[in-house]
Structures are given as structure tokens and as C-alpha cells.
């Protein structure tokens, strides 16, 4: 028997679902059932005279649309639900544009350019126009054009807009308007639309063709929008075009979760809604059905610190729940271990599945540490909204160099990098090399080493370029014996021009590519240091590559049954929920992002982002930060995020308590006594529980140290950093001592064997398990 779904709503929700006489705005905090209201409203409309094709529902992700459709399908039947128009703005509008393409001078087979395609087109336009590509950086030009499109400004409008021109002149890029014009024309000639065009062209289609608009207005008798706080002017205007006349529109959103201002979304939209539709009925929902009382109160206490917001109440009637656990890690690597250990512990205690966990971070580059920690334990995970670390293009490019240096016959690696970074070796030349190699049954590399022997017909210029490439690779091959993987890896990244390529501008994309490459270098650094501590004298690039290929080989889809831990950025977690959520990397300059500086608006947006993160959690929420982190090629000392201070301490479980709670073995309890004697601050005695004011803290983070014969080139920069102290004198380490390791954190020495250079210690680390370390290279200090 079908249950009455309306019984699954509270009174305010029910009212919002039933009100269908005019514009409706549901504005409410996280987890209060906004998405449920939209879903049930659609079912309600279908049961009250609307046909599925009369309903247009716009969601934040296609996944959300699928879930809504499934739920509605269970109510009204799958067959009917199938005909709903539901999806993201981009997917729904590209469908409309394909159907109506001829009205705006396209064919229905138009191509959609992704960001990389548009950048590459912009790059060639900038070149053709003879502009300086250091001034006219593609990322920056792209951002300006994208911004114009999101505000529905065409090239003609842009050229006529005095303000836009003056802004460009002030930024010393007066030619942006001409680039925009050319870019616009070239996309059209190529029959292509970029992501922003999907919105702008829909707007133009409706604007310039009233007959087409009339058809869609007729068809979409009801328009519903989820996550309305993150719509931009273009999206907002299209909704208006479709609903201005019949006023059947329902939007739901939460101003406290507006996190896309960089894409042109404007918090004002939601406030503006009632002005555009003066007879809007506003519904407020106050009960959160997702999270424990503690999580809801903690999130409220955080968001209160923002000035720009619509006041609202949010409460939960679920159980009180446990305080939010805060973990302090000594290093980013230990942060990974702590989180993974906690996941294992919760699974043991409460019978959670892997899918009940999510790890949320501010930047994609942070995923590597967690991926590695999870892989080590063979815990299945899935990365959303970003490629798995080693699948990312920039990482594959770098790895291709490594592969060619290690094995010059590697054909795929050769093809991938022969013209990356661009060195003027075109497809025709590559085609000729491939032909010669195939004919002579040899490798591409051999052909370019002896072009004459293999009858390669190329002009002098191309010949020189090929020889330049060969010499570059040979140079690396020549130093292989003298350098370890980390040193050679950084040489390759610098000398091949890769680092220049990704440093050419500070667009968010390039920045994230750069961060990823830096993460790879950090990984190599860790890898070498660890192997040396474990007693390997030289750690070669081949060693590193075999490790990497094992990692990727293990990453098979054996457990593709949905039982996986979710790893994603906070941005992509919007609208989702998980039983257990770890929000990681809560450090200044990371979360809040260093990009916002001290801008109050920027900081408020970062705080909203943190609010989104916490409110994803149903039962447990954990926050973590690391005192040291490898970033931009060097070890950085971080301070805990200011946002940690924004949450009332009564909702938190503070670092040292969390770290000591379950110490059962003898070593750990001795450590506890030690800490207690040392007088570590307690939660109640400290008004600033994080970072500043830690003078009473006994445990100090030791400065970064590298194995002595591992010359520490400051990975991607040029200046070597001084090798720091932290290595204990060999004779002073004894079984029973507590030590603090730079990467593994706190541990107890179990035994010491061997003498002199060969002296080794077996150490049991609280969070990283047992390790055998060569004392000559070990990076720890004795703490008790
Ligand atoms: N009346 C209700 N009774 C029981 N559970 C409910 C009720 N309303 C919503 N829920 C449940 O509470 C959770 C949060 O609901 P929903 O995702 O719709 O909230 P939301 O306001 O859209 O959240 P967000 O702001 O994060 O997008 C969901 O699991 C939903 O099924
Ligand atoms: Mg929602």
C-alpha cells in the first residue's frame, strides 16, 4: 500500500507544498527539508492536474535531480516521473538549445567547449592579435569574459560599456573587449558553446524569439529551483523570462549557504526575489531533521558571526549527540592517519558502512594524503568532483616525463609530452615520427635520436626542436644515477618548463594544477625520506614509479557497490548528507582560503562554506588541522583556522582529550602521565583553545628536517632550505622512550638494534602503527 507522503511533512513544509497559487520562496537553514519540500511539491502537482512535462525543476547537481526523480517515481509511478524536466541549469538548457539551435545560428550538433578548450582558443587569439601573453593571461581573460556572460553582456554590450572598458584599462588589459569579440565569433564559426554560453544563449534565444519563449512558457506551467542562493544573473533572468507571466514559481534556498560569488552568484538574488515578485509568499522552515542538536547548535554559533544574513532559527529534536571532535595533527600526513583511524574505530564500534563517511576539504590537492592513507588500509573510497589524484592531467604529464626518463622506448609517454609544454612540434611531425618508427619497427625515441638513419623528412627548424627535446631527456637520463627520485623529479618539473606553464597565471585552475604538482613533489619527498629512514641508500625514480603504478593498479573497481568513503571538496558537498563527516585542513590560509586575504566579504563567504561543511553531518562531525603541512614545495607551519574560534567551545571536544581518550597500552598511559605532569592546557582553562596562547603546551613541533644526505632543494623554488635539527644523537635512543616524529607524531620506542650508521629503532606510533627507522636519518626528538 502506498503511504501518504504528505504525512511525512511538518506543518510548515506541508503549507509550502500545498501553496501553488503564486510565487513562493522557501528560505530556511540547512537540513530543514527544503529539497524535500521541492520533491514533494512536484509529486503533489502531478497528483493535482499537472503533467510531468509541464514541470521544470532545476537542481544543483544531476545526481540530486536523479534522486528527486526516483522519490517522485515511487509516489506517482516511474513512467510518469520519467517525463519531468529535471536537471542542472546547464543540462536542461543545452537540451533546449539543441532543439532550438537553428533560431540562433547553430546546428543541433553544436560542440560544448570545456574550460581547457576555451583557454586554448583564447591563447591562440591572444597570440594572433600580437598581444603580450604575460599581460593577457588566459585565465584572467577567460574570467573577465565569463563574468560578462554571466551578467548577460554580449561583445557589443561590452564594447559599449564604459565601466567595463575603464576597469580593463585600469587593469592594463584594454584589449579584452576585442578578444571577447573574436572569441565569440570564433566559437560561432566552430559551432561551439562554452559553459557560460549555455546560459547566455538560452537567455538570448528567449529574448530574441518571443514565439519560442511563448512555447516554453506554455509548456513549463511550473518552475522550481533548488539552491536558489547560488544562481547567477543569467540563471535568475531565465527563470524570470519563463515565469514572469504566470507567476508559478517556487524557489528554495538558504542565504547562509551562498558559496559561489566567484561564479557570479549573488546573495542579493534571494533577497531580490520578493521585489521582482511582489506577491511572493515566504515560507520559513525551522526544524532541522538531519543532524544532532549539538551539530545544529555548533553550526548556528558559527554562522552567527556573519553580519550579512537573514535572521532565522534552526533547531533539532534529534538526540543531543556527541560534541564535535577536534583533532590536532603534527603534520598533514598524520592528519590523514588520524582520520582514517577514527573511521576504522567508528566502524568497529557502531557498525557503519563505508558510505556513511565523508572527508571534506577546501582544495582538491588535499585529497592525496587521504587517498594514500585509505589505500594503505585498503579502504574503498570515491573522489567526487575531481579526478583521482594520479588521473589528473597535470600529474599524468609529469609522470609521463618520469616514464620516458626511466624507459625512453615508452611510446605513450613520448606522445604525451613531445609537445608539452608547447615547443612547436606539431601533429604532422609526430605523425611522421610514428610512421618512420612503425616502418622500421623501432621506438619513436630511436627515430628522433637518428632521424637521418630512419629517413625522417623534416625541415631544419623542426629538426632542432626535436634535438632540443632529446637533449633535455638525455640530460635527465644522465643524472639518474646521482640523484634520488625527489631531486630528479624536481629537476624535471623545473627544467622541462612544466612549472612555468602552470605558474603563468593565477587563475583558480592553474593554481590547482600547480598545487597538485606540488603535492606530487611532496609525496616524492615523503617517499624518499621514508625509504631512507627505513635503510635504503638510494631511492631512484624507478622505485617511485613502481610505487605509483602499484597504487593505481590497486585502485580497481572491485568494490564498486557504492560502499565507499566519499572524498570531495566542500563546494561539491552542498545539498548532501552523511552520517559521519570529517572537515579537514582547518588552518589559516587554507580554510579560510589564503586567496580571500582580509576581505570581510571573502571571509564571510568562507565562513558560509564552513557552515555548509558542518551541516552535512547527521551523527558525528570531526574537524582537524595540521601544525605543519607541505605546501608550495616546502614545509609550512600552520595556525589553526580562525573559524574554530567561531564555534562555541561547549560544542567541541578539544584536541588533547580526543588524542588521549582511548590510550590503553602501557606506553600510552605513561605518555598521558607525562603530558599531565607537563601541564597541557585543558579545555576549560583556556579561552583560546587553538594555536595562540599555547605557551603551556609541552609538546612542541620540531622544525622540518630532512635526511642529511638528501639535499633539500626547496622543491619547486630555487633556494635550498637549511637542513634543520631534529635528528637525535644515535646513542641516546632507548627502548621505552616516548618520541615525537616530524611526520608520524607521537610514538614509543619498542627496541633499538645495531650500532653506528646501522642503528635502527622499532617505534610504535599512536596513529601510524609500527615503523622501523634508521636512526641516522630519523626525524624525531625524544620527549620523555
Ligand atoms: N518532516 C520531515 N520528517 C522527517 N525527515 C525529514 C523531514 N523533512 C526533511 N527530512 C529529512 O531531513 C534531511 C534534510 O532534508 P533536506 O535535504 O530536504 O534539507 P535541505 O533543507 O534541503 O538541506 P540543505 O540546506 O543542506 O540542502 C533529509 O534526510 C530529509 O529526508
Ligand atoms: Mg537541499
Asked if 97 and 245 sit in the same domain, the reply is yes
DSSP string, 312-352: ---EE-S---PPEEEEEESSHHHHHHHHHHHHHHHHHHH--
Mean pLDDT across the chain = 83
The three-state secondary structure class of 497 is: coil
- CA-nearest residue for atom 23, ligand 1, is 31
In Å, what is the CA distance from 162 to each residue of 11, 150, 166, 177? 52, 18, 6, 11
Residue 678: predicted pLDDT: 32
CA distance 90 to 111: 14
Active-site residue identified among 13, 35, 328, 628? 35
> Which residue among 659, 675, 704 closes a domain?
659
Query: Would residue 134 count as lying in a domain?
Result: yes
Query: Would residue 576 count as lying in a domain?
Result: yes
Q: Is 476 left (phi over 0), alpha (psi -120 to 50) or beta?
A: alpha
Q: How is residue 175 annotated by DSSP?
A: T
Ligand 1 centre and the CA of 37: distance in Å?
Answer: 8
Residues 6+ apart with CB under 8 A from 521: 486, 489, 490, 493, 633, 715, 716
The three-state secondary structure class of 114 is: coil
Ligand 1 pocket: which of 31, 32, 252 to mutate (most atoms <8 Å of CB)?
A: 31
Please report the atom of ligand 1 found closest to the CA of residue 36.
Answer: 18
Active-site residue identified among 75, 142, 257, 569? 257
Whether 78 is a known active-site residue: answer: no
Question: Within the chain, which residues score under 70 in pLDDT?
Answer: 1-3, 113-114, 116-117, 120, 262-267, 385-388, 546-547, 549-562, 633, 656-726, 728-730, 768
Structural domain tally of the chain? 5
Query: Would residue 154 count as lying in a domain?
Result: yes
pTM score of the predicted model = 0.69
**Which run of H or E residues covers position 520?**
helix 508-533
- CA-nearest residue for atom 15, ligand 1, is 33
What CATH number did the domain enclosing 331 receive? Answer: 3.40.50.300
Active-site residue identified among 342, 514, 616, 712? 616
Question: Which three three-digit cell numbers place residue 571?
Answer: 563546494
575 lines ligand 1 (CB under 6 A): yes
Of 259, 257, 238, give the one whose Cα is nearest residue 249.
238
Asked if 403 and 545 sit in the same domain, the reply is yes
- CA-nearest residue for atom 16, ligand 1, is 33
Question: Where in 229-276 does DSSP place strands (E)?
Answer: 249-253
SS3 content of the chain, % helix, strand, coil (to 5): 50, 15, 35
Residue 687: predicted pLDDT: 27
Query: Would residue 683 count as lying in a domain?
Result: no
Query: Would residue 696 count as lying in a domain?
Result: no
The three-state secondary structure class of 70 is: helix
Asked if 136 and 71 sit in the same domain, the reply is no
> Which residue among 636, 659, 682 closes a domain?
659
Ligand 2 centre and the CA of 456: distance in Å?
Answer: 61
Of 210, 261, 203, give the one whose Cα is nearest residue 235.
203
Asked if 446 and 363 sit in the same domain, the reply is no
Asked if 471 and 523 sit in the same domain, the reply is yes
Say whether the ipTM exceeds 0.95.
yes
Query: Would residue 506 count as lying in a domain?
Result: yes
Of 158, 187, 156, give the one whose Cα is nearest residue 174.
158
Ligand 1 centre and the CA of 607: distance in Å?
Answer: 22
The three-state secondary structure class of 586 is: coil
Asked if 426 and 545 sit in the same domain, the reply is yes
Please report the atom of ligand 1 found closest to the CA of residue 39.
Answer: 18
Please report the atom of ligand 1 found closest to the CA of residue 10.
Answer: 1
Q: How many CA atoms lie within 13 A of 309 on its CB side?
A: 22
Query: Would residue 686 count as lying in a domain?
Result: no
CA distance 707 to 201: 58
41 lines ligand 1 (CB under 6 A): no
Residue 3: predicted pLDDT: 59
Asked if 470 and 570 sit in the same domain, the reply is no
Residue 114: predicted pLDDT: 67
Active-site residue identified among 100, 194, 196, 227? 227
What CATH number did the domain enclosing 411 receive? Answer: 1.10.486.10
Of 686, 600, 598, 675, give the one whose Cα is nearest residue 644.
686
Residues 6+ apart with CB under 8 A from 631: 515, 518, 590
Going by DSSP bridges, is the β-strand pair 738-741/745-753 parallel, antiparallel, or unpaired?
Answer: antiparallel
Query: Would residue 511 count as lying in a domain?
Result: yes
Ligand 1 pocket: which of 11, 256, 270, 289 to mutate (most atoms <8 Å of CB)?
A: 289
Residue 265: predicted pLDDT: 59
**Residue 220, domain extent:** 5-104+198-285
Q: Is 633 left (phi over 0), alpha (psi -120 to 50) or beta?
A: left
Asked if 226 and 370 sit in the same domain, the reply is no
Q: How is residue 535 annotated by DSSP?
A: T
Contact between 566 and 358 under an 8 Å Cβ cutoff? The reply is yes
Q: What angle do CA 531, 532, 537 make, to 5 degrees?
A: 110
Asked if 81 and 207 sit in the same domain, the reply is yes
Asked if 450 and 342 sit in the same domain, the reply is no
Asked if 91 and 137 sit in the same domain, the reply is no
Asked if 379 and 400 sit in the same domain, the reply is no
Going by DSSP bridges, is the β-strand pair 769-774/760-765 parallel, antiparallel, or unpaired?
Answer: antiparallel
- pLDDT tens for 381-397 read 988 755 557 777 898 89
289 lines ligand 1 (CB under 6 A): yes
> Which residue among 641, 659, 677 closes a domain?
659
Amino acid at each position: 500500500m502506498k503511504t501518504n507522503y504528505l504525512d511525512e511533512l511538518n506543518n510548515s513544509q506541508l503549507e509550502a507544498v500545498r501553496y501553488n497559487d503564486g510565487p513562493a520562496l522557501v528560505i530556511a537553514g540547512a537540513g530543514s527539508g527544503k529539497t524535500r519540500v521541492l520533491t514533494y511539491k512536484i509529486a503533489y502537482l502531478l497528483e493535482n492536474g499537472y503533467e510531468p512535462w509541464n514541470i521544470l525543476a532545476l537542481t544543483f547537481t544531476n545526481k540530486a535531480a536523479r534522486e528527486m526523480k526516483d522519490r517522485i517515481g515511487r509516489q506517482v509511478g516511474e513512467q510518469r516521473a520519467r517525463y519531468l524536466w529535471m536537471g542542472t541549469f546547464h543540462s536542461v538548457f543545452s537540451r533546449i538549445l539543441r532543439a532550438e539551435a537553428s533560431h540562433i545560428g547553430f546546428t543541433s550538433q553544436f560542440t560544448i567547449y570545456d574550460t581547457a578548450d576555451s583557454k586554448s582558443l583564447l591563447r591562440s587569439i591572444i597570440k594572433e592579435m600580437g598581444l603580450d601573453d604575460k599581460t593577457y593571461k588566459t585565465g584572467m581573460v577567460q574570467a573577465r569574459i565569463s563574468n560578462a556572460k554571466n551578467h548577460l553582456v554580449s561583445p557589443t554590450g561590452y564594447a559599449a560599456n564604459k565601466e567595463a572598458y575603464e576597469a580593463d584599462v585600469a587593469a592594463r588589459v584594454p584589449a579584452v573587449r576585442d578578444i571577447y569579440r573574436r572569441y565569440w565569433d570564433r566559437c560561432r564559426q566552430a559551432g561551439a558553446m562554452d559553459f557560460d554560453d549555455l546560459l547566455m544563449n538560452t537567455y538570448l534565444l528567449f529574448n530574441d524569439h518571443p514565439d519560442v519563449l511563448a512555447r516554453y512558457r506554455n509548456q513549463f506551467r511550473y518552475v522550481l529551483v533548488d539552491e536558489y542562493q547560488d544562481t547567477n544573473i543569467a540563471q535568475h533572468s531565465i527563470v524570470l523570462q519563463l515565469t514572469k507571466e504566470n507567476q508559478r514559481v517556487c524557489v528554495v534556498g538558504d542565504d547562509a549557504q551562498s558559496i559561489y560569488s566567484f561564479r557570479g552568484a549573488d546573495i542579493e538574488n534571494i533577497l531580490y526575489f520578493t521585489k521582482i515578485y511582489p506577491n511572493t509568499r515566504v515560507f520559513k522552515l525551522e526544524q532541522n531533521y538531519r543532524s544532532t542538536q549539538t551539530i545544529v547548535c555548533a553550526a548556528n554559533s558559527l554562522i552567527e558571526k556573519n553580519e550579512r544574513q537573514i535572521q532565522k532559527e534552526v533547531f533539532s529534536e534529534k538526540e543531543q549527540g556527541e560534541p564535535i571532535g577536534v583533532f590536532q595533527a603534527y603534520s598533514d600526513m598524520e592528519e590523514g592517519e588520524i582520520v582514517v583511524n577514527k573511521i576504522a574505530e567508528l566502524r568497529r564500534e557502531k557498525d557503519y558502512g563505508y558510505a556513511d563517511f565523508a572527508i571534506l576539504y577546501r582544495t582538491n590537492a588535499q585529497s592525496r594524503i587521504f587517498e594514500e592513507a585509505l589505500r594503505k588500509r585498503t579502504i574503498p573510497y570515491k573522489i567526487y568532483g575531481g579526478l583521482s589524484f594520479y588521473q589528473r592531467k597535470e600529474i599524468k604529464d609529469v609522470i609521463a616525463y618520469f616514464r620516458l626518463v626511466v624507459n625512453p622506448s615508452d611510446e605513450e609517454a613520448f606522445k604525451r609530452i613531445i609537445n608539452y609544454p608547447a615547443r612547436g612540434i606539431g601533429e604532422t611531425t609526430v605523425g611522421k615520427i610514428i610512421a618512420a618508427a612503425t616502418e622500421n619497427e623501432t621506438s619513436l625515441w630511436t627515430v628522433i635520436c637518428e632521424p637521418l638513419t630512419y629517413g625522417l623528412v623534416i625541415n631544419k627548424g623542426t629538426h632542432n626542436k626535436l634535438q632540443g627535446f632529446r637533449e633535455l631527456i638525455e640530460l635527465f637520463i644522465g643524472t639518474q644515477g646521482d640523484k634520488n627520485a625527489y631531486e630528479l623529479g624536481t629537476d624535471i618539473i623545473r627544467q622541462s618548463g612544466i612549472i612555468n606553464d602552470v605558474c603563468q597565471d593565477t587563475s583558480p585552475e592553474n593554481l590547482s594544477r600547480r598545487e597538485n604538482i606540488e603535492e606530487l613533489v611532496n609525496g616524492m619527498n615523503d617517499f624518499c625520506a621514508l625509504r631512507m629512514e627505513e635503510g635504503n641508500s638510494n631511492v631512484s625514480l624507478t622505485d617511485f614509479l613502481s610505487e605509483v603504478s602499484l597504487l593505481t593498479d590497486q585502485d580497481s573497481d572491485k568494490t564498486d557497490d557504492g560502499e565507499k568513503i566519499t572524498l570531495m571538496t566542500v563546494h561539491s558537498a552542498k545539498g548532501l548528507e552523511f552520517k559521519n563527516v570529517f572537515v579537514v585542513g582547518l588552518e589559516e590560509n587554507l580554510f579560510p582560503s589564503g586567496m580571500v586575504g582580509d576581505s570581510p566579504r571573502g571571509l564571510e563567504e568562507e565562513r558560509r562554506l564552513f557552515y555548509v561543511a558542518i551541516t552535512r553531518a547527521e551523527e558525528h562531525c570531526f574537524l582537524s588541522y595540521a601544525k605543519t603541512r607541505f605546501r608550495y614545495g616546502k614545509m609550512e607551519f600552520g595556525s589553526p583556522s580562525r573559524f574554530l574560534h567561531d564555534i562555541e567551545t561547549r560544542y567541541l571536544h578539544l584536541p588533547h582529550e580526543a588524542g588521549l581518550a582511548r590510550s590503553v597500552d602501557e606506553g600510552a598511559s605513561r605518555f598521558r602521565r607525562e603530558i599531565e605532569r607537563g601541564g597541557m592546557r585543558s579545555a576549560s582553562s583556556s579561552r583560546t583553545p587553538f594555536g595562540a596562547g599555547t605557551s603551556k603546551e609541552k609538546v612542541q613541533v620540531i622544525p622540518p628536517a630532512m635526511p642529511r644526505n638528501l639535499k633539500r632543494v626547496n622543491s619547486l623554488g630555487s633556494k635550498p632550505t637549511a637542513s634543520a635539527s631534529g635528528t637525535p644523537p644515535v646513542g641516546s635512543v632507548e627502548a621505552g622512550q616516548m618520541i615525537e616524529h616530524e611526520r608520524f607524531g607521537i610514538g614509543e620506542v619498542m627496541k633499538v638494534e645495531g650500532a653506528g650508521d646501522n642503528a635502527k629503532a622499532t617505534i610504535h606510533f599512536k596513529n601510524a602503527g609500527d615503523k622501523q627507522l634508521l636512526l641516522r636519518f630519523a626525524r624525531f626528538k625524544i620527549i620523555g
